[in-house]
């Protein structure tokens, strides 16, 4: 199956966004995909903010994007846009780092007023980076993501089922993409 890079753009170590992504990673792995998590917050700030294209962590991130067949991009929404941390990484990637890739944009936030951040802030950037197919994204309210003391994640019923469908459609789109690549390769 496909290789999926699962990117969390949250600056927080206890982020609901990152926990949601890792939860969805398990579903993608159950579909047979190889999933590689990337928490942008683990990349040294001096490399991101100093635009150090030669920094080993930036080179590793760039290589992960190049290796992936599909990319899940998750971000908290701040001031009606994706995180500045995610923006810092996207700015350092090659212009067409998403060329031909299937991309699933996900966002979390405290209010439904931010639901359009995916389509009006994130999607145009992903498109400009050459994404071959941006599947329908999903916005999840922070209050719909609960983390137990043991680290287990529980989603509110109104979010759980739609998220499963979104991830399953992404997985299906990846299956079609890898089949197409095999046929042309």
Domain boundaries of the chain, sorted by first residue:
3-184
Q: What is the pLDDT of residues 65-102, one digit of tens each?
A: 999 999 999 999 999 999 999 999 999 999 999 999 99
CB 40 within 8 A of CB 17: no
- Taking the C-alpha atoms of residue 86 and residue 122, their distance in angstroms, rounded to an integer, is 10
Orientation angle between helical segments 157-184 and 16-30, nearest 10 degrees: 50
Average pLDDT along the chain: 92
Closest CA to 127 of 102, 107, 93: 102
CA atoms 45, 46, 51, 54: torsion sign: negative
Domain 3-184 falls in which CATH fold? Rossmann fold (3.40.50)
Task: Give the residue, 150 or 92, on which the prediction is more confident.
Answer: 92
Q: What's the predicted TM-score (pTM) here? A: 0.92
């Amino acid at each position: 199956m496909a290789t999926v890079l699962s990117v969390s753009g949250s600056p927080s170590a206890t982020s609901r966004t990152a926990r949601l992504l890792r939860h969805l990673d398990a579903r993608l792995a159950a579909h047979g995909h190889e999933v590689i998590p990337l928490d942008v917050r683990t990349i040294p700030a001096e490399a991101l903010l100093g635009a150090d294209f030669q920094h080993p962590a930036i080179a590793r991130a760039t290589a992960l994007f190049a290796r992936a067949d599909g990319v899940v991009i998750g971000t908290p929404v701040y001031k009606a846009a994706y995180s500045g941390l995610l923006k810092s990484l996207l700015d350092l990637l090659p212009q067409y780092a998403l060329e031909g890739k299937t991309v699933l944009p996900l966002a979390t936030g405290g209010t439904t007023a931010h639901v359009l951040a995916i389509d009006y802030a994130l999607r145009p950037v992903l498109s400009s980076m050459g994404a071959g197919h941006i599947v329908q994204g999903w916005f999840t309210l922070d209050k719909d993501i609960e983390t137990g003391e043991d680290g287990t994640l529980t989603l509110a019923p109104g979010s759980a089922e739609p998220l499963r469908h979104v991830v399953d459609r992404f997985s299906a789109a990846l299956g079609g993409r890898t089949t197409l690549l095999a046929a042309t390769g």
